[in-house]
A and B are shown apart, each in its own frame.
Chain A
Amino acid sequence: MTSISHADRIDTVPDHFVSDRLARRGLRHVKERIIEFILFLAASVSVATTIGIVLILLRESFIFFQAVSLWDFLTDTQWTPLFADAHYGIMPLLSGTLVSSAVALLVAIPLGTIIAIYLSEFAPFSVREVAKPFLELLGGIPTIIYGYFALLFVTPLLQKIYPGLPGFNLLSAGLVMGIMIIPYVSSVSEDAMRAVPMALREGSYAMGATRFQTAAWVVTPAAFSGIAAAYILGISRAVGETMILAVAAGMQPNLTWNPMEPAATITSYIVQVALGDLPHGSIGYQTIFAAGLTLALLTLFFNVLGHLLRKRYRQAY
């Protein structure tokens, strides 16, 4: 061991060497901070997107509502913004959206729930291993393909049962939309059911319950908050779905609660206008932002509802 003191050792190291290392460390520090800042910017793009959506929808809708009163927008029963006799009542578009979504949910919620219960509680391992990726594939098919299928396969099929069914109708679009949504409902519900602790099932079996009783009366209620979230996700998908409706439901605004009729929805109206050649800044151009704002508020409403449901029924294990 040498007996050089701390101070001596510092003295033996050349000055420029120390300052070099310090400078390098300082540089390294600066570089780290710059990288962190860049990554932070990447993360804030998502916030900027939300702000952008809100600002654009509000700004353009604000211009729209200077020309059309909110009262007319909500109560007028006609939506004819491109006609000489222009009416701006959102009700016809809203009814189309709600009817088609209702049909879709009547398909997706029962089937999605049954599939989730089956895959989580009944299916043998091998079935699950095949069914889950398959459902994922089903959810990955572009919606325009489903639109084609609804218009050219499901509608002719339904016309054999109901000969009076028009070529464009909410029913076949809604049915196909329901099948498209099944994977979303089933996968989120199933995750929720599988998260239910085994002890609950064991307790139920120990009381002599059968598999079905356990699934229906123990697992499903325990997973309710997650299942509700799955339903809400399904509703949001249905309300925001565009191409199936644009292709198969016709684009004629029609205030109806009958799924056998053709009708436009909020989304298919936006597509219809975008396909045409509306000048930027005209009232017709502004209508799609007002329609978009309505759609955004509708989805927001369902998301908040889902959030509340989840909070109300959440079970902690």
Chain B
Amino acid sequence: MSDSPVRLQKIRALIAAHKRWDIIFGVVGLLALMVGVLTFAALFIEMAIAGLPRLSWDFFTSFPSRKADQAGILSAWVGSILVMAVTALAAVPLGVGAGVYLEEYAPRNWMTDLIEINVTNLAGVPSIIYGLLALGLFVYQFGLGQSILTAGLTLALLILPIVIVTTREAIRSIPGAIREGAYALGATKWQTTSDHILPYARGGILTGVIIGMSRAIGETAPVITIGALTFIAFLPPAPVQGEFPFLSFEWIMSPFTVMPIQMFNWTSRPEAAFQHNAAAAGLVLVVMTLSMNALAIYLRYRLRKKIKW
């Protein structure tokens, strides 16, 4: 019995030692998070220092140039917007349609399983492989050339899994009672879907579309692979024209460049002046993608709070 205080002390020391690990891990976890935060801060500050002085109205309204201080991103941001328009026009109907089909219509059979496994696997395919697909299929097989249409369709295929998965999640969160109510009133499947399911899933779908688009706008590799030019000093033909028939779709087949390619082009030049241009273009790109992402996160947050079935 004489050694019991000593043993008690030992046990207490052991417990204290174990609890110390809790504190140590708490600190290690925070430090690991800080690595991310610091990287993000360093990246942003580095680009801001190098790029902010270049950001001016002229930078947005000038074409790229051999002289670094006269170069701008006009053709790049116009190209990005046009390519994004094609991507959205292709990816939203296809992705939402596929999501609706898989959630509301698809019979439980091997074909559905195949489609589901496919969507999951496509999300893991490296983006450059989509570029090779587009090079072989769109550029040469279909003869679409190295055009805005090709780039838009390629990026649409790339973000399709994102749109499909978020559409399905949004639809799945709608309670079955809504459908039963619609059916009970004699609505057909499509009436139920278009008048009830889609409107209620709109917010969730929108979130997925925004995340997909923010991914597409920053994608470089597949667009380079289809052979987009890195030096474009002209704009595609305007979609709206002064004379009949006023609307022109010539732009869709036009050569183009996009923001990330312009940035890549400037980054890979040895002169510091061009790298400052790259930083400025990077800042614009980061602000674009981050604000899209932040919008999506905010939308999702609000949806989660607001919706109570």
Contacts and interface: CB of A to CB of B under 8 A. Distances in A.
Interface string A137-172: 110111111111101110000000000000000000
A263 B22 CA distance: 42
Contacts of B2: none
Nearest to B124: A236
B97 interface: yes
A32 B194 CA distance: 12
Interface residues of B, number: 89
B19 A44 contact: no
Interface in B181-208: 188-190
A96 to B, nearest CB: 14
A39 B97 contact: yes
Contact of A118 (B33, B114, B135, B293): B33
Contacts of A198: none
B260 A210 contact: no
Contacts of B235: none
B163 to A, nearest CB: 11
Contacts of A142: 217-220, 260, 285-286, 289
Given A134-B36, A267-B221, A289-B136, A299 B115 contact: no
A144 B225 contact: no
Contacts of B131: 270, 274
Contacts of B36: 111, 115, 134-135, 138, 179, 182-183
- Classify the secondary structure of B's interface with A: helix
A292 B132 contact: yes
B101 A242 contact: no
A289 B140 CA distance: 14
B221 A145 contact: no
A241 B124 CA distance: 12
B93 A42 contact: yes
A52 B100 CA distance: 23
A271 B263 contact: no
Contacts of A303: 121, 124
Interface of A: 28, 31-32, 35-36, 38-47, 49-50, 52-53, 56-57, 59-60, 111, 114-115, 117-119, 122-123, 131, 133-138, 140-149, 151-153, 176, 179, 182-183, 210-213, 215, 233, 236, 239-243, 246-247, 267, 270-271, 274-275, 280, 288-289, 292, 295-296, 299, 303
- What are the 8 A-B residue pairs with the smallest beta carbon separation, nearest first? A240-B126, A142-B218, A118-B29, A42-B97, A56-B136, A39-B101, A242-B221, A43-B98
27 contacts: A31-B190, A32-B188, A41-B97, A42-B97, A45-B94, A46-B115, A52-B137, A53-B129, A56-B132, A118-B25, A134-B40, A135-B36, A136-B297, A140-B218, A143-B218, A145-B285, A145-B286, A147-B264, A149-B43, A152-B275, A242-B221, A243-B221, A270-B221, A271-B225, A275-B224, A280-B140, A299-B125
Given A36-B101, A153-B46, A246-B221, 17 more contacts: A35-B190, A39-B105, A42-B94, A42-B98, A43-B106, A57-B132, A115-B32, A123-B29, A142-B285, A145-B263, A210-B21, A215-B25, A240-B126, A267-B128, A289-B132, A289-B136, A296-B126
